[in-house]
Amino acid sequence: MKTIRTKVYEFNELNDKAKQTAISQYRDKDRDYQFFYDELISSVKKVVELFNLKLGREWTDIRTSHIDDTICELSGVRLYKYILNNYGEDLFKPLYIKSIDRPVKWKQFICKVHKGNSGEYTILYSKYKTDNSCPLTGVYYDNDILHPVYSFLSRPEKSTTFESLISEVESAIKKTFDDTEEWVNSDEFISKEIQANKYNFTKDGKIFNN
């Protein structure tokens, strides 16, 4: 029997070449990032539900054939008004102000009283200002997918119809899936994953298994 001693290194102690070896080896591992896609899929589902759309066989396949032509052909200012009248409350939420550790009813705010472990508390929202940050699921994918809608609402183009706007949303969904795939395989993301998991490496960048 003999004992072999091996000097191990943290990721940030490796030289650049060894770091690249470590990243490549980690990238080739059987990694499970389904939770990223689950959050993205939740945003897609909410957008589909909001605009009364239908899905094909893929999450990136959006259908509008069931929607009345008079709606699909709405454009410019008419489309702008249609979106705000029908979806405005979902796209723009009252702006959060602060929380109060007791029940209150102040007329200058929208007051929502909740029950917590230590008693009732109130969340205050503005009556006049709105927020469109992650309005559907609370995850940033909402804004990635809805970007074409908010861009249109900020500047309604006469040439943009409801149908073409939904086509842009479909493209945004595809791009978000592609961007997510690229991100979880990027050197930057993998480096953070390695450091978060506190892996040890040999000098040449190979993962050290105890």
Residues 6+ apart with CB under 8 A from 182: none
- Does the pTM surpass 0.85? The reply is no
Query: What tens digit of pLDDT does each residue of 107-165 get?
Result: 999 999 999 888 899 999 999 999 999 999 999 999 999 999 999 999 999 999 999 99
- C-alpha span between 192 and 203 (Å, rounded): 19
Instruction: Say which residue the tokens 């000098």 belong to.
Output: 203
Query: What tens digit of pLDDT does each residue of 23-55 get?
Result: 998 888 867 778 888 999 999 999 999 999 999
Taking the domains of the chain in order of start, what are their residue ranges? 11-92+132-197, 95-131
